[in-house]
Amino acid sequence: MKIRSAVTTTQETFTEAGAELPSATIVVVAAAVVENPLAGKGQVADLEELEVLGNEAAGFLVRQALRALGALGVDPSEVRGYGKGAIVGINGDREHTAAVLHPRFGAPVRAAIGGGADIIPGTKKVGGVGSSITMPIGNKDDRWVFDDMDA
């Protein structure tokens, strides 16, 4: 995996709807710009290379996220929710993001946080330089915990 750049950011929310929360809600985003080895190659039947990349990227990103949470005193076992997303450049294909995000991405994330019985909600798109994406967040063990749904 060739990483061009990475960024990790945290957001702490102390009040919701004018009411002080008993403890801050913390959201961390870890993102990376990586080389797509299949960009510009047209229709490719075997996406194994991108599946492996997804596994490697997940391991890297979850380490970045947990490092940021650790700096705030949050233990991996306290993580309640997760999400994922990917943007492929205009020389790639949306199917490339699916290969990165779905087959092997979840295992390193679940191992690092000590579980996660439910799906990791995700989104994907094709976009040019400067594109943004809204990532869904859901409870790691039960997708129907509405308090943990976010984007």
- Residue 42: its pLDDT value, please? 86
Residue 101 zone, left/alpha/beta (φ > 0; ψ -120 to 50; rest): alpha
- Residue 105: its pLDDT value, please? 98
Q: Where are the beta strands (DSSP E) in the chain?
A: 3-16, 19-34, 81-82, 84-88, 122-126, 138-139
Please report, rounded to a whole number, the percentage of residues in the chain having pLDDT higher than 70.
100
Distance CA 51, CA 97 (A): 9
Q: Which fold has domain 3-148?
A: 60s Ribosomal Protein L30; Chain: A; (3.30.1330)
- Is the Cβ–Cβ distance between 31 and 64 less than 8 Å? no
Mean pLDDT of the chain, nearest integer: 96
Rounded mean pLDDT, 50-74: 98
Tens digit of pLDDT for each residue in 107-146? 999 999 999 999 999 999 999 999 999 999 999 999 999 9
Backbone φ, ψ for residue 114 (5° rounding): 75, 40
- Residue 43: its pLDDT value, please? 87
- Is the Cβ–Cβ distance between 140 and 79 less than 8 Å? yes
Rounded mean pLDDT, 11-27: 95
pTM of the model: 0.93
By CB neighbour count within 10 A (0-12 exposed, 13-18 middle, 19+ buried), where does 113 fall?
A: buried
75 closest CA partner among 106, 128, 114, 47: 114
Q: Is pLDDT at 79 greater than 90 in this prediction?
A: yes
Rg of the chain over Cα atoms, rounded to whole angstroms, equals 16
